[in-house]
């Protein structure tokens, strides 16, 4: 939910990896599937709100959530619903772009959504609590996102520099990217990729989607229980 990297791997191929920073009690142990709008959606489920921060549909769409928009916002509950439920509801639309333009985000806490589908396009959607900002992503450019609710602008810039330096090593495998999400940057328990802030918020999992040859593999490792599950999420 809070650190995401995107690596293009040629035409219609990519690797997206997400570290989730959240209260330890909200860790998700394994992947599960649910049918939405006639297609199977695979995702790790948030045990508190019932939503998710990353999901893959069998028609090829991947949606990933980070909390916050451009800057850290003032939390003003009650909100209409959990942001994680919006990830799943986005699959009710025939395209991510249509969802981003048509969904009623009023009284939803600010967020950033990444929507990837080689057939539909690659998008970033930011909701500030008042306005939505949708842009197409450069599908040739490796990218890192850090949640604005946990990492201020200077820290996000520092994490970007860690990412840029690491890119010079030309990582080319899912395993190398997982290692970066586990060990990259500096050993900083407050702002590192695997963080722990007094056991109130910590990195609870790493989830990776590898999309190639019209198929996606989704791998989820719960860092609390050390359990890893992997499923083929896309078959069409």
Q: What pLDDT, in 10s, does the model give residues 182-198?
A: 998 888 899 999 999 99
The model's confidence at residue 235, banded by pLDDT at 50, 70 and 90, is: low
Q: What pLDDT, in 10s, does the model give residues 165-188?
A: 999 987 779 999 999 999 988 888
Q: What pLDDT, in 10s, does the model give residues 61-86?
A: 999 999 999 999 988 889 999 999 99
Which residues, in sequence order, are bridge partners of residue 121?
117
In the predicted structure, residue 1 carries a pLDDT above the cut 80: no
């Amino acid at each position: 939910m809070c650190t995401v990297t995107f690596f293009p791997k040629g035409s219609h191929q990519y690797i997206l990896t997400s570290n989730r920073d959240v209260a330890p009690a909200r860790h998700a142990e394994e992947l599960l599937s649910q049918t939405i709008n006639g297609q199977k959606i695979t995702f790790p489920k948030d045990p508190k709100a019932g939503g998710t921060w990353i999901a893959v549909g069998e028609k090829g769409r991947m949606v990933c959530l980070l909390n916050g928009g451009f800057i850290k916002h003032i939390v003003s509950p009650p909100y209409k619903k959990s942001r994680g439920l919006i990830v799943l509801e986005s699959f009710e639309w025939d395209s991510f772009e249509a969802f981003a333009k048509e969904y009623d985000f009023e009284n939803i806490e600010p967020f950033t959504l990444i929507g990837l589908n080689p057939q539909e396009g690659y998008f970033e959607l930011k909701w500030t609590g008042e306005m939505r900002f949708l842009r197409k992503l450069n599908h040739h450019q490796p990218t890192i996102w850090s949640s604005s609710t946990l990492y201020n602008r200077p820290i996000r810039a520092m994490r970007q520099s860690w990412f840029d330096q690491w890119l010079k090593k030309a990582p080319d495998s899912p395993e190398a990217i997982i290692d970066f999400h586990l060990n990259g940057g500096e050993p900083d328990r407050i702002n590192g990729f695997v963080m722990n802030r007094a056991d109130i918020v910590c990195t609870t999992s790493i989830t990776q989607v590898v999309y190639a040859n019209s198929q996606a593999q989704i791998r989820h490792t719960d860092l609390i229980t050390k359990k890893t599950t992997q499923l083929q999420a896309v078959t069409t």
